[in-house]
Chains A and B, each alone.
Chain A
Amino acid sequence: MSLDSLFFAFKNAVKNVFRNTILSLASITVLTVCLIFLGSMLLILMNVNAFLDSVGDENQIVVYLEEDSTPEQIEAAGQSLSDISNVSSVKYESPEQALENYSQILGDSSLTEGLDPSVFRPSYIIEIVDLSKFDQTVYEIEKVDQIGYFANGERAIRSPYEFVDKLVSIRQIMSFMGICIVAIFLVTSVFIITNSVKLSVFSRKDEIYIMRYVGASDFYIQLPYFIEGMLIGLVSGVLGYLIELGLYNSILAPLMTDLGLFDPISISQSFGYMPLCFILVGLLVGIIGSVVPVKRYLSV
Protein backbone atom coordinates (compact mmCIF):
# COMPACT_ATOMS: atom_id res chain seq x y z
CA MET A 1 0.00 0.00 0.00
CA SER A 2 1.37 3.39 -1.04
CA LEU A 3 1.75 6.37 1.29
CA ASP A 4 -0.92 8.18 -0.74
CA SER A 5 -3.38 5.36 -0.07
CA LEU A 6 -2.56 5.37 3.62
CA PHE A 7 -3.05 9.12 3.78
CA PHE A 8 -6.35 8.77 1.91
CA ALA A 9 -7.52 6.06 4.33
CA PHE A 10 -6.56 8.22 7.30
CA LYS A 11 -8.35 11.23 5.83
CA ASN A 12 -11.47 9.13 5.31
CA ALA A 13 -11.28 7.80 8.85
CA VAL A 14 -11.14 11.35 10.26
CA LYS A 15 -14.06 12.32 8.01
CA ASN A 16 -16.02 9.29 9.30
CA VAL A 17 -15.45 10.34 12.91
CA PHE A 18 -16.80 13.83 12.20
CA ARG A 19 -19.59 12.65 9.91
CA ASN A 20 -21.22 10.71 12.79
CA THR A 21 -20.30 13.26 15.43
CA ILE A 22 -22.89 12.26 18.02
CA LEU A 23 -22.15 8.55 17.86
CA SER A 24 -18.41 9.19 17.80
CA LEU A 25 -18.77 11.38 20.89
CA ALA A 26 -20.89 8.71 22.58
CA SER A 27 -18.24 6.08 21.79
CA ILE A 28 -15.44 8.29 23.12
CA THR A 29 -17.42 9.13 26.28
CA VAL A 30 -18.30 5.54 27.14
CA LEU A 31 -14.80 4.26 26.42
CA THR A 32 -13.26 7.12 28.41
CA VAL A 33 -15.53 6.38 31.41
CA CYS A 34 -14.64 2.70 31.09
CA LEU A 35 -10.94 3.48 31.08
CA ILE A 36 -11.32 5.76 34.10
CA PHE A 37 -13.06 2.94 35.97
CA LEU A 38 -10.36 0.54 34.89
CA GLY A 39 -7.63 2.94 35.98
CA SER A 40 -9.35 3.75 39.28
CA MET A 41 -9.82 0.08 40.11
CA LEU A 42 -6.19 -0.57 39.28
CA LEU A 43 -5.04 2.34 41.42
CA ILE A 44 -7.20 1.33 44.37
CA LEU A 45 -6.05 -2.27 44.15
CA MET A 46 -2.42 -1.20 43.94
CA ASN A 47 -2.96 1.04 46.97
CA VAL A 48 -4.60 -1.81 48.89
CA ASN A 49 -1.69 -4.07 47.98
CA ALA A 50 0.77 -1.43 49.07
CA PHE A 51 -1.19 -1.13 52.30
CA LEU A 52 -1.14 -4.88 52.83
CA ASP A 53 2.61 -4.89 52.30
CA SER A 54 3.00 -2.04 54.74
CA VAL A 55 1.14 -3.96 57.44
CA GLY A 56 3.60 -6.80 57.08
CA ASP A 57 4.22 -6.74 60.83
CA GLU A 58 0.63 -7.79 61.28
CA ASN A 59 1.32 -10.87 59.26
CA GLN A 60 3.02 -12.43 62.22
CA ILE A 61 1.95 -15.79 63.57
CA VAL A 62 3.22 -16.85 66.97
CA VAL A 63 3.49 -20.53 67.83
CA TYR A 64 4.13 -21.73 71.37
CA LEU A 65 6.00 -24.95 72.04
CA GLU A 66 5.52 -27.25 75.05
CA GLU A 67 7.04 -25.86 78.27
CA ASP A 68 9.28 -28.88 78.62
CA SER A 69 10.62 -28.84 75.07
CA THR A 70 14.24 -29.88 74.78
CA PRO A 71 16.69 -27.75 72.75
CA GLU A 72 16.63 -30.48 70.08
CA GLN A 73 12.85 -30.33 69.87
CA ILE A 74 12.96 -26.52 69.67
CA GLU A 75 15.57 -26.74 66.90
CA ALA A 76 13.50 -29.35 65.01
CA ALA A 77 10.35 -27.21 65.29
CA GLY A 78 12.26 -24.19 63.91
CA GLN A 79 13.45 -26.28 60.97
CA SER A 80 9.97 -27.66 60.23
CA LEU A 81 8.48 -24.14 60.32
CA SER A 82 11.18 -22.74 58.02
CA ASP A 83 10.46 -25.51 55.51
CA ILE A 84 6.85 -24.30 54.97
CA SER A 85 6.73 -22.67 51.57
CA ASN A 86 4.81 -19.47 52.40
CA VAL A 87 6.94 -18.69 55.46
CA SER A 88 9.41 -15.85 54.93
CA SER A 89 11.10 -15.80 58.34
CA VAL A 90 11.12 -17.73 61.60
CA LYS A 91 12.44 -16.10 64.77
CA TYR A 92 12.88 -17.97 68.05
CA GLU A 93 11.88 -16.31 71.33
CA SER A 94 13.02 -18.01 74.54
CA PRO A 95 10.98 -17.72 77.80
CA GLU A 96 13.62 -15.29 79.11
CA GLN A 97 13.26 -13.01 76.05
CA ALA A 98 9.51 -13.24 76.34
CA LEU A 99 9.66 -12.06 79.93
CA GLU A 100 11.92 -9.18 78.98
CA ASN A 101 9.61 -8.12 76.13
CA TYR A 102 6.64 -8.36 78.47
CA SER A 103 8.36 -6.06 80.94
CA GLN A 104 9.04 -3.58 78.18
CA ILE A 105 5.41 -3.64 77.05
CA LEU A 106 4.20 -3.02 80.61
CA GLY A 107 6.81 -0.23 80.94
CA ASP A 108 7.38 -1.02 84.56
CA SER A 109 9.90 -3.72 85.41
CA SER A 110 8.70 -3.85 89.03
CA LEU A 111 5.48 -5.50 87.86
CA THR A 112 7.38 -8.51 86.50
CA GLU A 113 9.92 -8.65 89.26
CA GLY A 114 10.19 -12.08 90.74
CA LEU A 115 8.29 -13.59 87.86
CA ASP A 116 9.78 -16.87 86.69
CA PRO A 117 10.53 -17.04 82.96
CA SER A 118 9.14 -20.56 82.94
CA VAL A 119 5.63 -19.09 82.96
CA PHE A 120 6.35 -18.22 79.33
CA ARG A 121 6.67 -20.88 76.73
CA PRO A 122 9.42 -21.06 74.15
CA SER A 123 7.94 -19.64 70.94
CA TYR A 124 8.57 -18.92 67.29
CA ILE A 125 7.47 -15.71 65.54
CA ILE A 126 6.69 -16.48 61.93
CA GLU A 127 6.20 -14.05 59.05
CA ILE A 128 4.42 -15.15 55.91
CA VAL A 129 4.80 -14.06 52.31
CA ASP A 130 1.35 -14.24 50.72
CA LEU A 131 -1.56 -13.19 52.88
CA SER A 132 -4.08 -14.82 50.59
CA LYS A 133 -2.56 -18.20 51.55
CA PHE A 134 -2.90 -17.46 55.24
CA ASP A 135 -5.32 -20.30 56.05
CA GLN A 136 -3.28 -22.84 54.18
CA THR A 137 -0.10 -21.72 55.93
CA VAL A 138 -1.69 -21.98 59.38
CA TYR A 139 -2.85 -25.47 58.44
CA GLU A 140 0.73 -26.42 57.55
CA ILE A 141 2.00 -24.93 60.81
CA GLU A 142 -0.48 -27.00 62.83
CA LYS A 143 1.17 -30.13 61.47
CA VAL A 144 4.39 -29.39 63.36
CA ASP A 145 4.41 -31.86 66.28
CA GLN A 146 6.40 -29.80 68.78
CA ILE A 147 3.73 -27.06 68.96
CA GLY A 148 1.93 -27.18 72.28
CA TYR A 149 -1.73 -26.75 73.22
CA PHE A 150 -3.74 -24.06 74.98
CA ALA A 151 -5.85 -24.94 78.00
CA ASN A 152 -8.93 -25.15 75.75
CA GLY A 153 -7.28 -27.96 73.79
CA GLU A 154 -6.50 -25.91 70.69
CA ARG A 155 -3.03 -25.78 69.18
CA ALA A 156 -0.97 -22.96 70.72
CA ILE A 157 -0.95 -20.73 67.67
CA ARG A 158 -1.83 -17.02 67.72
CA SER A 159 -2.58 -15.45 64.40
CA PRO A 160 -4.27 -12.22 63.28
CA TYR A 161 -6.66 -14.44 61.40
CA GLU A 162 -9.69 -12.16 61.40
CA PHE A 163 -7.74 -9.05 60.45
CA VAL A 164 -5.94 -10.73 57.58
CA ASP A 165 -9.09 -12.51 56.50
CA LYS A 166 -10.93 -9.20 56.28
CA LEU A 167 -8.16 -7.55 54.29
CA VAL A 168 -7.97 -10.45 51.87
CA SER A 169 -11.76 -10.49 51.51
CA ILE A 170 -11.86 -6.74 50.82
CA ARG A 171 -9.18 -7.14 48.17
CA GLN A 172 -10.97 -10.08 46.58
CA ILE A 173 -14.37 -8.32 46.57
CA MET A 174 -12.84 -5.18 45.12
CA SER A 175 -11.03 -7.14 42.45
CA PHE A 176 -14.19 -9.01 41.52
CA MET A 177 -16.33 -5.89 41.46
CA GLY A 178 -13.67 -4.04 39.52
CA ILE A 179 -13.43 -6.79 36.92
CA CYS A 180 -17.24 -6.91 36.58
CA ILE A 181 -17.64 -3.14 36.19
CA VAL A 182 -14.76 -2.86 33.75
CA ALA A 183 -16.03 -5.86 31.75
CA ILE A 184 -19.50 -4.29 31.47
CA PHE A 185 -18.02 -0.99 30.31
CA LEU A 186 -15.65 -2.67 27.88
CA VAL A 187 -18.50 -4.65 26.30
CA THR A 188 -20.61 -1.48 26.12
CA SER A 189 -17.73 0.41 24.53
CA VAL A 190 -17.21 -2.30 21.92
CA PHE A 191 -20.96 -2.26 21.20
CA ILE A 192 -21.11 1.52 20.77
CA ILE A 193 -17.96 1.67 18.62
CA THR A 194 -19.40 -1.16 16.54
CA ASN A 195 -22.53 0.91 15.93
CA SER A 196 -20.54 4.03 15.16
CA VAL A 197 -18.44 2.20 12.57
CA LYS A 198 -21.55 0.44 11.23
CA LEU A 199 -23.15 3.82 10.64
CA SER A 200 -20.01 4.99 8.85
CA VAL A 201 -20.14 1.93 6.64
CA PHE A 202 -23.80 2.58 5.78
CA SER A 203 -23.24 6.26 5.09
CA ARG A 204 -20.47 5.36 2.64
CA LYS A 205 -22.07 2.34 1.06
CA ASP A 206 -21.99 3.90 -2.44
CA GLU A 207 -18.28 4.51 -2.18
CA ILE A 208 -17.70 1.00 -0.88
CA TYR A 209 -19.74 -0.41 -3.75
CA ILE A 210 -17.66 1.50 -6.31
CA MET A 211 -14.42 0.51 -4.60
CA ARG A 212 -15.44 -3.12 -4.83
CA TYR A 213 -16.03 -2.85 -8.57
CA VAL A 214 -12.83 -1.03 -9.42
CA GLY A 215 -10.87 -3.80 -7.72
CA ALA A 216 -9.93 -2.23 -4.38
CA SER A 217 -8.55 -4.86 -2.02
CA ASP A 218 -10.48 -5.85 1.10
CA PHE A 219 -7.74 -4.30 3.19
CA TYR A 220 -7.95 -0.98 1.36
CA ILE A 221 -11.74 -0.85 1.80
CA GLN A 222 -11.60 -1.84 5.46
CA LEU A 223 -8.62 0.28 6.53
CA PRO A 224 -10.46 3.62 7.09
CA TYR A 225 -12.92 1.88 9.41
CA PHE A 226 -10.16 0.22 11.42
CA ILE A 227 -8.45 3.59 11.66
CA GLU A 228 -11.75 5.15 12.75
CA GLY A 229 -12.04 2.63 15.61
CA MET A 230 -8.41 3.20 16.53
CA LEU A 231 -8.86 6.98 16.52
CA ILE A 232 -11.83 6.70 18.89
CA GLY A 233 -9.75 4.38 21.10
CA LEU A 234 -6.73 6.68 21.02
CA VAL A 235 -8.68 9.83 21.89
CA SER A 236 -10.47 7.94 24.70
CA GLY A 237 -7.16 6.61 26.01
CA VAL A 238 -5.52 10.03 26.18
CA LEU A 239 -8.64 11.71 27.62
CA GLY A 240 -9.16 8.88 30.11
CA TYR A 241 -5.59 9.11 31.38
CA LEU A 242 -5.69 12.89 31.80
CA ILE A 243 -9.02 12.75 33.67
CA GLU A 244 -7.74 9.83 35.79
CA LEU A 245 -4.62 11.80 36.69
CA GLY A 246 -6.75 14.76 37.76
CA LEU A 247 -9.25 12.58 39.65
CA TYR A 248 -6.59 10.63 41.51
CA ASN A 249 -4.50 13.59 42.51
CA SER A 250 -7.41 15.82 43.48
CA ILE A 251 -9.96 13.37 44.90
CA LEU A 252 -8.87 9.76 45.40
CA ALA A 253 -5.43 10.34 46.90
CA PRO A 254 -6.55 13.11 49.31
CA LEU A 255 -9.52 10.93 50.32
CA MET A 256 -7.24 8.02 51.19
CA THR A 257 -4.99 10.35 53.14
CA ASP A 258 -7.97 11.84 55.00
CA LEU A 259 -9.21 8.39 55.96
CA GLY A 260 -5.84 8.03 57.67
CA LEU A 261 -5.41 4.44 56.61
CA PHE A 262 -2.23 4.80 54.66
CA ASP A 263 -0.26 7.11 52.41
CA PRO A 264 -1.49 6.85 48.81
CA ILE A 265 1.10 5.92 46.26
CA SER A 266 2.17 8.42 43.61
CA ILE A 267 0.59 7.90 40.20
CA SER A 268 3.67 9.10 38.32
CA GLN A 269 6.18 7.11 40.37
CA SER A 270 4.33 3.84 40.69
CA PHE A 271 2.37 3.91 37.40
CA GLY A 272 4.79 5.15 34.81
CA TYR A 273 3.26 2.66 32.41
CA MET A 274 -0.30 3.88 33.02
CA PRO A 275 -0.56 6.32 30.05
CA LEU A 276 0.58 3.49 27.78
CA CYS A 277 -1.93 1.15 29.44
CA PHE A 278 -4.80 3.58 28.81
CA ILE A 279 -3.82 4.11 25.18
CA LEU A 280 -3.28 0.41 24.49
CA VAL A 281 -6.60 -0.64 26.05
CA GLY A 282 -8.34 2.20 24.16
CA LEU A 283 -6.78 1.15 20.87
CA LEU A 284 -7.57 -2.50 21.48
CA VAL A 285 -11.24 -1.80 22.24
CA GLY A 286 -11.40 0.51 19.21
CA ILE A 287 -10.00 -2.18 16.93
CA ILE A 288 -12.27 -4.91 18.33
CA GLY A 289 -15.26 -2.57 17.97
CA SER A 290 -14.49 -1.91 14.30
CA VAL A 291 -13.59 -5.46 13.30
CA VAL A 292 -17.14 -6.80 13.62
CA PRO A 293 -18.97 -4.33 11.31
CA VAL A 294 -16.05 -4.11 8.90
CA LYS A 295 -15.91 -7.88 8.45
CA ARG A 296 -19.67 -8.31 8.36
CA TYR A 297 -20.67 -5.41 6.14
CA LEU A 298 -17.71 -4.98 3.85
CA SER A 299 -17.36 -8.54 2.62
CA VAL A 300 -16.62 -8.36 -1.10
Chain B
Amino acid sequence: MIDLNKVTKIHKNGTVALDKVTFHIDSGEFVFITGASGAGKSSIIKLLLGEEAPTYGDAVLGGYNVKKLTRRQIPKYRRQLGVVFQDFRLISSINVYDNVAFAMRAVGRPRREIKSRVEAVLEIVNLSSKKNSMPDQLSGGEQQRVALARAIVNAPKVILADEPTGNLDGRLSLEMMRMLDYINKSGITVVVVTHADNLVNILGKRVITLDHGRIVSDEPEVRRSEA
Protein backbone atom coordinates (compact mmCIF):
# COMPACT_ATOMS: atom_id res chain seq x y z
CA MET B 1 0.00 0.00 0.00
CA ILE B 2 2.78 2.42 0.98
CA ASP B 3 6.36 2.19 -0.27
CA LEU B 4 9.16 4.59 0.59
CA ASN B 5 12.36 3.81 -1.26
CA LYS B 6 15.51 5.70 -0.22
CA VAL B 7 13.48 8.86 0.29
CA THR B 8 15.54 11.95 1.03
CA LYS B 9 13.97 15.31 1.69
CA ILE B 10 16.17 18.38 1.77
CA HIS B 11 14.47 21.69 2.54
CA LYS B 12 15.30 24.92 0.72
CA ASN B 13 17.45 26.08 3.65
CA GLY B 14 19.56 22.93 3.29
CA THR B 15 18.12 21.05 6.29
CA VAL B 16 17.94 17.32 5.68
CA ALA B 17 14.49 16.29 6.96
CA LEU B 18 14.62 12.69 5.73
CA ASP B 19 17.73 10.73 4.85
CA LYS B 20 17.35 7.65 2.63
CA VAL B 21 14.22 6.46 4.43
CA THR B 22 12.98 3.09 3.19
CA PHE B 23 9.96 1.15 4.44
CA HIS B 24 6.98 -0.77 3.14
CA ILE B 25 3.50 -0.83 4.68
CA ASP B 26 1.09 -3.53 3.57
CA SER B 27 -2.56 -2.98 2.92
CA GLY B 28 -4.52 -3.36 6.19
CA GLU B 29 -1.49 -2.76 8.44
CA PHE B 30 -1.50 -0.52 11.54
CA VAL B 31 1.80 1.32 11.87
CA PHE B 32 3.09 3.90 14.33
CA ILE B 33 5.77 6.33 13.20
CA THR B 34 7.49 7.77 16.24
CA GLY B 35 10.46 9.92 17.07
CA ALA B 36 11.45 13.06 18.89
CA SER B 37 10.76 16.56 17.55
CA GLY B 38 12.65 17.15 14.31
CA ALA B 39 13.03 13.42 13.67
CA GLY B 40 11.19 13.71 10.33
CA LYS B 41 7.69 12.52 11.29
CA SER B 42 5.95 15.58 9.88
CA SER B 43 7.97 15.34 6.68
CA ILE B 44 6.67 11.82 6.14
CA ILE B 45 3.08 12.96 6.70
CA LYS B 46 3.58 15.85 4.24
CA LEU B 47 5.01 13.44 1.67
CA LEU B 48 2.15 10.99 2.09
CA LEU B 49 -0.40 13.81 1.85
CA GLY B 50 1.12 14.81 -1.48
CA GLU B 51 1.92 18.22 -0.02
CA GLU B 52 5.63 17.85 -0.73
CA ALA B 53 7.67 15.66 -3.05
CA PRO B 54 10.87 13.82 -2.09
CA THR B 55 14.12 15.44 -3.17
CA TYR B 56 15.50 12.00 -3.99
CA GLY B 57 13.95 8.54 -3.96
CA ASP B 58 10.36 7.46 -4.46
CA ALA B 59 7.29 7.56 -2.24
CA VAL B 60 4.45 5.44 -3.61
CA LEU B 61 0.96 5.20 -2.09
CA GLY B 62 -1.87 3.21 -3.68
CA GLY B 63 0.05 3.02 -6.95
CA TYR B 64 0.68 6.77 -7.17
CA ASN B 65 4.27 7.98 -7.11
CA VAL B 66 4.10 11.23 -5.09
CA LYS B 67 7.01 12.70 -7.02
CA LYS B 68 5.19 12.28 -10.32
CA LEU B 69 1.77 13.51 -9.19
CA THR B 70 0.32 16.09 -11.55
CA ARG B 71 -1.89 18.87 -10.24
CA ARG B 72 -4.94 17.11 -11.67
CA GLN B 73 -4.02 13.81 -10.02
CA ILE B 74 -3.66 15.27 -6.51
CA PRO B 75 -7.42 15.28 -5.64
CA LYS B 76 -7.74 11.69 -6.91
CA TYR B 77 -4.68 10.67 -4.92
CA ARG B 78 -6.01 12.30 -1.75
CA ARG B 79 -9.36 10.54 -2.04
CA GLN B 80 -7.54 7.37 -1.00
CA LEU B 81 -6.64 9.05 2.28
CA GLY B 82 -8.46 9.98 5.43
CA VAL B 83 -6.60 12.53 7.53
CA VAL B 84 -6.83 13.18 11.27
CA PHE B 85 -5.01 16.23 12.62
CA GLN B 86 -3.85 17.02 16.15
CA ASP B 87 -6.01 20.17 16.26
CA PHE B 88 -9.12 18.41 14.86
CA ARG B 89 -9.69 21.11 12.21
CA LEU B 90 -13.47 21.09 12.48
CA ILE B 91 -15.53 23.87 10.91
CA SER B 92 -16.87 25.78 13.90
CA SER B 93 -19.87 27.30 12.11
CA ILE B 94 -21.57 24.00 11.21
CA ASN B 95 -22.82 21.09 13.32
CA VAL B 96 -21.33 17.62 13.73
CA TYR B 97 -23.41 16.07 10.94
CA ASP B 98 -22.43 18.77 8.44
CA ASN B 99 -18.77 18.59 9.44
CA VAL B 100 -18.74 14.93 8.47
CA ALA B 101 -21.00 15.39 5.44
CA PHE B 102 -18.73 18.21 4.28
CA ALA B 103 -16.04 15.70 3.26
CA MET B 104 -18.52 13.82 1.07
CA ARG B 105 -19.99 16.98 -0.45
CA ALA B 106 -16.50 18.17 -1.28
CA VAL B 107 -15.97 15.14 -3.50
CA GLY B 108 -19.39 15.47 -5.08
CA ARG B 109 -21.26 12.54 -3.50
CA PRO B 110 -25.07 12.53 -3.94
CA ARG B 111 -27.24 13.76 -1.06
CA ARG B 112 -28.95 10.42 -0.41
CA GLU B 113 -25.64 8.59 -0.11
CA ILE B 114 -24.27 11.33 2.15
CA LYS B 115 -27.18 10.96 4.58
CA SER B 116 -26.95 7.20 5.01
CA ARG B 117 -23.15 7.12 5.09
CA VAL B 118 -22.74 9.99 7.58
CA GLU B 119 -25.26 8.46 9.96
CA ALA B 120 -23.51 5.09 9.77
CA VAL B 121 -20.11 6.65 10.45
CA LEU B 122 -21.42 8.70 13.39
CA GLU B 123 -22.73 5.43 14.80
CA ILE B 124 -19.23 3.91 14.57
CA VAL B 125 -17.67 6.78 16.51
CA ASN B 126 -20.57 6.85 19.01
CA LEU B 127 -21.69 10.36 18.15
CA SER B 128 -25.15 9.75 16.69
CA SER B 129 -26.76 11.49 19.63
CA LYS B 130 -24.62 14.60 19.08
CA LYS B 131 -25.07 14.99 15.34
CA ASN B 132 -26.84 18.33 15.78
CA SER B 133 -24.32 19.72 18.28
CA MET B 134 -21.88 22.44 17.31
CA PRO B 135 -18.14 21.64 17.64
CA ASP B 136 -17.68 24.03 20.58
CA GLN B 137 -20.31 22.10 22.54
CA LEU B 138 -18.18 18.94 22.38
CA SER B 139 -15.30 17.72 24.54
CA GLY B 140 -11.83 17.32 23.02
CA GLY B 141 -12.30 13.58 22.67
CA GLU B 142 -15.65 14.03 20.94
CA GLN B 143 -14.21 16.61 18.59
CA GLN B 144 -11.43 14.23 17.63
CA ARG B 145 -14.02 11.48 17.02
CA VAL B 146 -15.86 13.87 14.67
CA ALA B 147 -12.54 14.40 12.86
CA LEU B 148 -12.11 10.63 12.69
CA ALA B 149 -15.65 10.21 11.32
CA ARG B 150 -14.85 12.81 8.68
CA ALA B 151 -11.64 10.94 7.82
CA ILE B 152 -13.38 7.60 7.27
CA VAL B 153 -16.64 8.78 5.72
CA ASN B 154 -15.30 8.60 2.15
CA ALA B 155 -14.09 5.01 2.74
CA PRO B 156 -10.38 5.74 2.30
CA LYS B 157 -7.72 3.08 1.79
CA VAL B 158 -5.39 4.71 4.29
CA ILE B 159 -5.92 6.73 7.47
CA LEU B 160 -3.11 9.18 8.18
CA ALA B 161 -3.28 10.44 11.75
CA ASP B 162 -0.87 13.24 12.65
CA GLU B 163 -0.48 13.31 16.47
CA PRO B 164 -4.19 12.46 16.91
CA THR B 165 -3.89 12.33 20.70
CA GLY B 166 -1.77 15.47 21.05
CA ASN B 167 -4.64 17.48 22.53
CA LEU B 168 -6.25 14.66 24.52
CA ASP B 169 -5.72 13.35 28.04
CA GLY B 170 -4.60 9.77 28.74
CA ARG B 171 -8.04 8.14 28.87
CA LEU B 172 -9.31 9.90 25.74
CA SER B 173 -6.03 9.16 23.93
CA LEU B 174 -6.44 5.46 24.59
CA GLU B 175 -10.07 5.63 23.48
CA MET B 176 -8.96 7.27 20.23
CA MET B 177 -6.30 4.63 19.61
CA ARG B 178 -8.81 1.83 20.24
CA MET B 179 -11.12 3.45 17.73
CA LEU B 180 -8.33 3.60 15.14
CA ASP B 181 -7.61 -0.05 15.89
CA TYR B 182 -11.30 -0.89 15.36
CA ILE B 183 -11.26 0.95 12.00
CA ASN B 184 -8.05 -0.86 11.03
CA LYS B 185 -9.78 -4.19 11.62
CA SER B 186 -12.20 -3.31 8.81
CA GLY B 187 -9.21 -3.48 6.44
CA ILE B 188 -8.21 0.19 6.31
CA THR B 189 -4.45 0.82 6.56
CA VAL B 190 -3.70 3.10 9.51
CA VAL B 191 -0.54 5.19 9.88
CA VAL B 192 -0.28 7.11 13.13
CA VAL B 193 2.46 9.67 13.67
CA THR B 194 2.96 10.19 17.40
CA HIS B 195 5.47 10.79 20.13
CA ALA B 196 3.20 9.20 22.80
CA ASP B 197 5.36 6.14 23.55
CA ASN B 198 3.04 4.87 26.30
CA LEU B 199 0.15 4.44 23.84
CA VAL B 200 2.41 2.83 21.28
CA ASN B 201 3.49 0.27 23.85
CA ILE B 202 -0.06 -0.52 24.98
CA LEU B 203 -1.32 -1.31 21.48
CA GLY B 204 1.75 -3.32 20.49
CA LYS B 205 1.56 -2.49 16.77
CA ARG B 206 4.40 -2.13 14.29
CA VAL B 207 6.56 0.88 15.16
CA ILE B 208 8.92 2.75 12.85
CA THR B 209 11.20 5.03 14.86
CA LEU B 210 12.92 7.98 13.27
CA ASP B 211 15.83 10.05 14.50
CA HIS B 212 17.33 12.98 12.63
CA GLY B 213 15.60 11.92 9.43
CA ARG B 214 16.81 8.31 9.53
CA ILE B 215 15.00 5.10 10.50
CA VAL B 216 16.63 3.82 13.67
CA SER B 217 14.27 0.91 14.22
CA ASP B 218 11.36 -0.83 12.55
CA GLU B 219 9.79 -3.23 15.04
CA PRO B 220 7.09 -5.52 13.68
CA GLU B 221 3.95 -6.22 15.68
CA VAL B 222 4.76 -9.82 16.59
CA ARG B 223 8.33 -9.17 17.78
CA ARG B 224 7.16 -6.32 20.00
CA SER B 225 4.46 -8.49 21.49
CA GLU B 226 7.02 -11.15 22.23
CA ALA B 227 9.21 -8.53 23.86
Contact = CB atoms under 8 A, between A and B. Distances in A.
Given A210-B102, A212-B78, A217-B75, A5 B89 contact: no
Given A4-B111, A207-B102, A214 B91 contact: no
A209 B110 CA distance: 22
Contacts of A212: 78
Nearest to B79: A215
Interface in A285-300: 300
B77 A215 contact: yes
Nearest to B112: A4
A206 interface: yes
Nearest to A15: B93
B148 to A, nearest CB: 13
Nearest to B76: A215
A211 interface: yes
B83 A220 contact: no
B223 interface: no
A2 interface: yes
Given A207-B91, A209-B89, A210-B103, A218 B108 contact: no
Contacts of A221: 106
Contacts of B71: 218, 300
A220 B106 contact: yes
Given A214-B154, A300-B71, A220 B91 contact: no
B107 A216 contact: yes
Interface in B69-87: 71, 74-81, 83
A207 B71 CA distance: 20
A213 interface: yes
A210 B108 contact: no
A61 B77 CA distance: 76
Interface in A192-229: 206-207, 209-218, 220-221
A206 B150 CA distance: 14
Nearest to B105: A8
Contacts of A207: 91, 102
Nearest to A214: B103
A4 B75 CA distance: 19
Contact of A214 (B92, B107, B114): B107
B49 interface: yes
Interface in A1-33: 1-2, 4-5, 8
A216 B91 contact: no
B106 A216 contact: yes
Contacts of B106: 210-211, 214-216, 220-221
24 contacts: A2-B109, A2-B110, A4-B105, A4-B109, A4-B114, A210-B89, A210-B103, A210-B106, A213-B49, A213-B78, A214-B78, A214-B79, A214-B83, A214-B102, A214-B154, A215-B75, A215-B76, A215-B77, A215-B80, A215-B106, A215-B154, A217-B75, A220-B108, A300-B71
Given A207-B91, A213-B83, 19 more contacts: A1-B108, A4-B111, A5-B105, A8-B105, A206-B91, A207-B102, A210-B102, A210-B103, A213-B78, A214-B83, A214-B103, A215-B77, A215-B80, A215-B81, A216-B75, A217-B75, A220-B107, A221-B106, A300-B74
In order of increasing CB-CB distance, the 9 nearest A-B pairs are A215-B79, A215-B78, A216-B106, A214-B103, A5-B108, A215-B75, A211-B106, A217-B75, A213-B83
Interface of B: 49, 71, 74-81, 83, 89, 91-92, 102-103, 105-111, 114, 150, 154
